[in-house]
Amino acid sequence: QDLERGVAGYGMDFGFGATDGAEEASVAVGKAICEALTGQGFEVEWEGSTGRRPRLLSLDWKRRGP
């Protein structure tokens, strides 16, 4: 569903979490996702907690032709 919304132009949410489930480690994973996306020029919104997922605000999906 997240990908479908992204392709439709509504932004895309990213699920995340640490493998051990620890809150502090999970927040670090969320920060890494946001830094990676913003480092590539994407606009990301996230409140910095595990209660919300990082959201890629704009996505111009291009479909490759045959």
For residue 53, pLDDT beyond 90: yes
Question: Minimal CA–CA distance to 45: which of 11, 17, 1, 16?
Answer: 11
Please list the alpha-helical segments (H only) found in the chain: 2-7, 23-39
Express each pLDDT in 8-45 by its tens digit. Answer: 777 888 989 998 989 999 999 999 999 999 999 999 99
Among 9-13, 18-22, 49-53, 60-64, name the one with the lowest average pLDDT: 60-64
| CB neighbour list of residue 33: distance below 8 Å, 6 or more residues apart | 14, 16, 44, 54
pTM over 0.95: no
- Say how many residues make up the chain: 66
